[in-house]
Chains A and B, each alone.
Chain A
Amino acid sequence: MIKKIYFQSIFFSFFFIKEAFAAESGGMPQLNPEFWVSQIFWLILTFGIMYLVLSKLILPKISNNLESRKSQILENIEAAEKQREDSDAKLKEYDEIISKSKLEANGIFNQAREKALKDISAKREVLDKQIDNEIAEAEKEIDALRKNAPDKINKIAIETSSELLQKLIGAEVNNSSISAIVDDLSKRNGDKYYGN
């Protein structure tokens, strides 16, 4: 649509031009050679200077800028990659250290436990022995006491009976005869008095 209007209006505008220029000197100003040389001269001058300045000064700088940016970005990417690798290695190292120290701690703990257990068992043994000894001694003492007890009782019985007899009868009685009687009694009734 726009294209159609565009070309139509170009077409009509040329009609218009022809009419407009019918009365005037005619033709387009472009075809008037009066300033051709001037235009060529200024074109060569301006374009030439622009070309020289652009090609010698400005374009190398722009290409330099682009190159340096490119290389810097590549460098940065490389550095980032390197740092990533480094951090990965560090992380691995850290993990290793952690697992190693865990193992170590476990070992130390086990060792300490074993040692403590050993200590405890050694001490227990010593104590057990001591207790056993003491028990044995006490038993011995008791045994000894038990063994001696009838004799002492007999003796007391003999003395008591002799004194009793003296008071009752007023005469001395031979100790040996009394002791024979006490012995005999205690042998007969020992079980009744002392248990066992």
Chain B
Amino acid sequence: MAANPMSQFDVYRIGPEIKVGAFDISFTNASLFMILSTVSILLIFNLGSKKNSIIPNKIQLLAELSYTFVSKMISDTAGSKAKPYFAFIFSLFMFVLFCNMFGMIPYTFTVTSHIIVTFVLAAFIFIGVTVIGFIKHGFGYLKLFVPSGVPAILLPLIVVIEIISYLSRPISLSVRLFANMMAGHTMMKVFGGFVISLGIVGGWLPLSFSVALTGLEILVAFLQAYVFAILTCIYLNDALNLHH
């Protein structure tokens, strides 16, 4: 591995180059970790839902706790109307969580540390939420940009701000996740590099930081997945319940 802290984010081809028309859809290390994450999610939840015992075993408990955790999160933030979107938000949360957590294993690749991946997810959410909003409320959905109880003089300004904030949602959503992942992993790599360069004499301090940072990064990995999912719920809530 190179000493360059950014080389951990390099995407490289595994196997032959696959081209469909002008597009290169080769299998890469990013694809590998996407598949690993999804396969482990499906494996765990398949095992956790196979048997229906009254007293759940460990893996069943894990699956059921995740289920109730996400379902509570959705019903708390977006209400009962969001129930049809439960499966999507559950998948989203689990996918981001597993990609983040896989990235915590040394020598792995963090799928969510790439802006394009998080941006595609965020853009899909943004478009989906907007479509749902317009289907549910028609052009009444535009009332989202006109908050009630604002003086008429301020209204044009507020509307512009609201529109900008609405349009920046996919960017903030994707950049938040990507930047957190990239910064954390870069920092860990930098501290790891310090351990090597300072050697046996001075390397202990950055090593202890590295240990602490690993704990912090695991927390961040969970927290960012949670934030990603809960922001999706909040956007969904705006589209479904439209009270401003």
Contact = CB atoms under 8 A, between A and B. Distances in A.
21 contacts: A2-B216, A9-B187, A9-B190, A9-B191, A24-B4, A29-B9, A35-B11, A35-B24, A37-B23, A37-B24, A38-B23, A38-B30, A39-B31, A40-B120, A42-B25, A44-B120, A58-B42, A62-B49, A66-B67, A68-B52, A69-B52
B41 interface: yes
A99 interface: no
A127 B120 CA distance: 122
B45 interface: yes
Given A10-B183, A50-B95, A65-B52, A39 B38 contact: no
Interface of A is mostly: helix
A16 B189 CA distance: 11
B114 to A, nearest CB: 5
Contacts, number: 157
> Which 10 A-B residue pairings sit nearest by Cβ, starting from the closest?
A55-B87, A42-B31, A61-B49, A50-B38, A46-B34, A41-B25, A35-B11, A29-B9, A51-B91, A65-B52
Interface string B28-71: 10110011011001100110111010100000100110011000
B187 A39 contact: no
A63 B87 CA distance: 11
A20 interface: yes
B25 A37 contact: yes
Interface of B: 4-7, 9-11, 13, 23-28, 30-31, 34-35, 37-38, 41-42, 45-46, 48-50, 52, 54, 60, 63-64, 67-68, 86-88, 90-91, 94-95, 111, 113-117, 120-121, 178, 182-183, 186-187, 190-191, 209, 212-213, 216
Nearest to A73: B54
B236 to A, nearest CB: 16
B90 to A, nearest CB: 7
Contacts of B121: 43, 47
Given A49-B38, A58-B42, A39 B30 contact: yes
Interface of A: 2, 5-6, 9-10, 12-13, 16-17, 20-21, 24, 28-32, 34-44, 46-47, 49-51, 53-55, 57-59, 61-66, 68-69, 72-73
Contacts of A46: 31, 34-35, 37-38
Nearest to B206: A9
B87 A54 contact: yes
Contacts of A9: 187, 190-191
B11 A29 contact: yes
Contacts of B26: 35, 38
Nearest to B70: A59
B23 A30 contact: no
A39 B67 contact: no
A127 B206 CA distance: 123
Contacts of B114: 30, 39
Contacts of B28: 35, 38-39, 42
Contacts of B216: 2, 6
Given A55-B87, A58-B49, A29 B117 contact: no
